[in-house]
Amino acid sequence: MSHQTFSGLGLSEPLCRALAAENYTHPTPIQTQTIPRLLEGRDLLGIAQTGTGKTAAFALPILQKLGKPQHPVAARWAHALILAPTRELAIQIGDSFRTYGRHTGLRNTVIFGGVGQPQQVKAMARGVDILIATPGRLLDLVQQKHVRLDAVKHFVLDEADRMLDMGFIRDVRKIVAMLPKKRQSLLFSATMPSDVAKLAAEMLRDPLRVEVAPQAVTVDLVDQRVHFVETAQKRALLTDLLRDPALARVIVFTRTKHHANRVSEHLQRAGVSNDALHGNKSQSARQRALERFRSGHARVLVATDIAARGIDVDGVSHVINFELPHEPESYVHRIGRTARAGNSGIAVAFCDASERPLLRDIERLTRRPLTVVGTRPAAFDTPQAKAEARRPDPSVYKRKRPRYRGKPRRAA
Ligand code: AMP
């Protein structure tokens, strides 16, 4: 946080009032660096992940720029378009616009797939100031002429790298091609794979480039621990840890939907209030699960990576990686749920023998070894596992041993 104030960044009184009501005292670094330039109309390439305050960084200038001259909204039109990869994220962005814009009179609506269309068509019939959408359903509605994109003046592509992972890039390109040439465009991405960089180059005009909280900085706020444990003992370890009331609001991550259900059922049997959150749940079940977690009615949320993307719940005390993810970046996203907006948090990884290489990838990415807090040695009793455990990882510990290149020893 900085000593800047929101009004010092050029934001209008109705917006500052809404922020004060949310107890936002100071802008976060990404907000300080971007808001004044976005108010000038610059394009932006933002390399930032959730937890940095990036939503407010784009929502506030857009609200202000829409709010100044009175734009009449025509049927089926929107003046600002925000694309997000998941419905959860889209809904959260919609909530943020509503919160920050509550004194502006600007209207927004959120559209996403997996639910009926009529409500969304009805909302668009009158036109809105701000439209937040997932790409697939937006394209459907545009093709059916329920939404028109020719009045969009501000365009945001959020979590572009996740769009790519989820296979939405073609849909995104189609949507971008339908937008007016004269517009302000913003692209946010936690990482910059080459396809995202290419899209940014096509989509942005002389963008301001801002990079905040590189992954290593965010993960520094999290106390990261690892338990070495056999696969079969993971569930028992989980209930064991949950006996400690300090684990007040906990997200447990699994790799698959099926495992999320199994862990959730196990916790239910152990008397721990929890819900599972994953892509096979209906939209209303997912919203209900999030609400129960947010309000404290459920102590634990068992989630898969994609479903958990963009979960914006404050005060998560612990993230438990019941299974380590295949992509180390997902680990960083997972533990970021517990260190939001400058708070610290605790992340605990359960690592079985087969997950050792995944742990090594994670430590290579974050450049810090996790603190070992528990070992169930039975899992590592094989000679192979013992050898593996003894061998230091040169990229983490920077102790590279030279390979023996001498002549083979002769038999005596
Ligand atoms: P985001 O990176 O947009 O997902 O935001 C992360 C969290 O930080 C959200 O819970 C926001 O409500 C919160 N937040 C954003 N900006 C600020 C700020 N300036 N002061 C305090 N909290 C903030």
Write out pLDDT tens, residues 83-95: 999 888 999 999 9
Residue 376 pLDDT: 54
Q: Which atom of ligand 1 is nearest to the CA of 310?
A: 4
Least confident window among 57-71, 109-123, 264-278: 57-71
Give me the domain span that covers residue 259.
222-393
Q: How far apart, in Å, do the first and last CA atoms of the chain sit? A: 69
Residue 360 lies in a domain: yes
Q: CA-CA distance, 58 to 60, in Å (whole number)?
A: 6
Q: Are residues 172 and 96 in the same domain?
A: yes
Please name which of 355, 377, 365, 357 lies closest in space to residue 335, comparing C-alpha atoms.
365
Same domain, 59 and 206: yes
pLDDT band at 342 (very low <50, low <70, confident <90, very high): low
Is the pTM higher than 0.75?
no
Tell me if 28 CB under 6 Å of ligand 1: yes
50 lines ligand 1 (CB under 6 A): yes
Ligand 1 centroid to Cα of residue 54, in Å, is 7
Q: Is 115 contained in some domain?
A: yes
Measured from the CB, is residue 54 less than 6 Å from ligand 1?
yes
The two three-digit tokens of residue 45, written as one number: 């390439």
Cα separation, 305 vs 312, whole angstroms: 14
- Residue 222 CA to ligand 1 center (angstroms) comes to 17
Residues 169 and 237 both lie in one domain:
no
pLDDT band at 337 (very low <50, low <70, confident <90, very high): confident
The finding on whether 87 has its CB within 6 A of some atom of ligand 1 is: no
Taking only the tens place, the pLDDT of each residue in 292-331 is 999 999 999 999 987 766 577 878 899 999 999 987 878 9
Per the CB < 8 A criterion, the answer to whether 348 and 227 are in contact is yes
pLDDT band, residue 410 (cuts 50/70/90): very low
pLDDT score recorded for residue 309: 63
- Mutational test site, ligand 1, from 91, 186, 312, 343, max ligand atoms within 8 Å of CB: 312
- On whether residue 103 sits in a domain, the answer given is yes
Domain contains 400: no
Q: Is the CB of 89 under 6 A from ligand 1?
A: no
Which pLDDT value is given to residue 273? 96
Number of structural domains (the chain) is 2
Same domain, 81 and 155: yes
Domain for residue 71, yes or no?
A: yes
**Which of residues 157, 180, 211 is at a domain's end?**
211
Ligand 1 within 6 A of 56 CB?
yes
The answer to whether the CB of 312 is under 6 A from ligand 1 is: yes
Q: Where are the alpha helices (DSSP H) in 77-209?
A: 87-100, 118-125, 135-143, 160-165, 169-178, 194-203
- 228 in any annotated domain: yes
Task: Give me ligand 1 centre to Cα 77, in Å.
Answer: 29
Whether 61 and 113 share a structural domain: yes
The reply to whether 228 and 200 lie within a common domain is no
Atom of ligand 1 nearest to the CA of 48: 2
Atom of ligand 1 nearest to the CA of 24: 20
Query: Tokens 């019939």 identify what position?
Result: 125
pLDDT tens track for 324-335: 998 787 898 888
CATH number, position 376: 3.40.50.300
- Domain-located, residue 261: yes
Q: Which of the listed residues 33, 93, 340 should we mutate to test ligand 1's pocket, taking the one with most ligand atoms within 8 A of CB?
A: 340
| pLDDT, position 121 | 95
Please check the confidence at residue 111 and state whether its pLDDT lies above 90: yes
DSSP SS3 for 109: strand
pLDDT at 59 over 90: yes
Tokens of 124: 């668009």
Q: Is the pLDDT of residue 385 over 70?
A: no
Domain assignment present for residue 401? The answer is: no
Mean pLDDT of 1-17: 88
What local confidence, expressed as pLDDT, does residue 345 receive?
Answer: 86
Residue nearest to atom 20 of ligand 1 (CA): 24
CA distances to 136, 254, 257 from 305, rounded to whole Å, are 20, 8, 10
| Residue 375: pLDDT over 90 | no
Q: What is the DSSP string of 36-75?
A: HHHHTT--EEEE--TTSSHHHHHHHHHHHHHHSS-PPPPT
pLDDT above 60 for 404: no
CB 201 within 8 A of CB 173: no
Give the ligand 1 atom nearest the CA of 27: 19
Q: How do residues 160-186 score in pLDDT, each as one tens digit?
A: 988 988 889 999 999 999 999 999 999
Listed residue (358, 362, 312, 356) closest to 338, CA to CA: 312
- Ligand 1, atom 10, lies closest to the CA of 312
Within this chain, do residues 241 and 205 fall inside the same structural domain, yes or no? no
The best mutation among 55, 60, 316, 332 to test binding of ligand 1, ranked by most ligand atoms within 8 Å of the C-beta, falls on 55
Q: Give dist(CA 274, CA 293) in Å, integer.
A: 8
270 and 309 together in one domain: yes
Query: Stretch 386-396: mean pLDDT, rounded?
Result: 42
Ligand 1 site, residue 51, Cβ cutoff 6 A: yes
- Sequence-separated contacts (24+) of 101-106 with Cβ below 8 Å: 101/15, 101/18, 101/59, 101/63, 101/67, 101/130, 102/18, 103/14, 103/15, 103/17, 103/18, 104/14, 104/15, 104/63, 104/66, 104/67, 105/67, 106/63, 106/66, 106/67, 106/130
Percent of the chain whose predicted confidence (pLDDT) is above 90: 61
pLDDT mean across residues, the chain? 85
- Please state, as a whole number, how many other Cβ atoms lie within 10 Å of the Cβ of residue 9: 22
> Is there a single domain that holds both residue 207 and residue 238?
no
Asked if residue 202 and residue 277 are part of one domain, the reply reads: no
Residue ID of nearest Cα to ligand 1 atom 6: 51
> What does the pLDDT read at residue 116?
92
- If you measure from the C-alpha of residue 269 to the centroid of ligand 1, how many angstroms do you get, rounded to a whole number? 36
Half-sphere exposure of 398 (CA within 13 A, CB side): 2
**Does ligand 1 have an atom closer than 6 angstroms to the CB of 53?**
yes
Q: Same domain, yes or no, for 44 and 134?
A: yes
Percent of residues, the chain, with pLDDT higher than 70: 85
Q: What is the DSSP letter of 383?
A: H
Are residues 179 and 247 part of one domain? no
What is the edge-to-edge ordering of all strands in the sheet holding 300-303? 274-277, 300-303, 250-253, 318-321, 345-351, 222-228, 371-375
> Which residues, other chains included, contact 212 with Cβ-Cβ below 8 Å and sequence gap of 6+?
28, 29, 30, 33, 46, 47, 48, 52
Q: Which residue has the tokens 């040695």?
A: 377
> 104 pLDDT exceeds 50?
yes
